[in-house]
Amino acid sequence: MAVLTDRPVSIDWSLLDIVWAFVLSALFGVLLGFASLGLLGIQALGTIPGYTTNLIWMLPGFFVVYVLRRPGAALLMALVAGQIAVVVTPAGSDLLFSLLIRSFCIELAVAVVTRYRRFVLRRWTLAALLTGGLLIIVYLWLYEVVWPDQNTQLLACATITLSVVASAALAKLLADLMVRTGLLPRTAASEAQF
């Protein structure tokens, strides 16, 4: 017997999916633009407090992927939200690049673990853990981060992974609450609930 969450993945986006993607992306773009002012201050406190900001930076990508359940949803969100946030934040185009990198990690992990079909808690948590691992690899390879000792390295990796998992859990919780209250009608997440 097929579960409702086992629906086939449609690569074709409906017009409603595109509208939802742009509306959510614009909302997150404004929120991230203004939140970046405070988050940049937290990142200035040091390495470990800076990695906790992944909780906020990753939230829009996880939320949009969970709600729309379409390939490329997080990347589209990053492009739109990044363009809007660039206007507000002093980080400028670095914010757009950072959102794209984080959204690519989310897309890759969700595609491998859930295949955009099964968004049960166990698979969602596994996708978040894989996203955290990919983000650590990005930090090591792309940003060439060098931690001073092994303890700092372990603490940084744990902080990154836990903040990403917390972000995915928060995104799932918010999306499920919004679906139950009827704020996200006719989305893939709302169809899976019924």
DSSP 130-165: HHHHHHHHHHHHTS----SSHHHHHHHHHHHHHHHH
Asked if residues 5 and 192 have their Cβ atoms less than 8 Å apart, the reply is yes
Separation CA 148–CA 155 (nearest Å): 12
| pLDDT higher at 168 or 49 | 168
Per-residue pLDDT tens digits for 3-32:
445 555 556 888 999 999 999 999 999 988
User: Considering the entire predicted model, what is its pTM?
Assistant: 0.88
Per-residue pLDDT tens digits for 105-151:
999 999 999 998 889 999 999 999 999 999 989 888 876 666 777 78
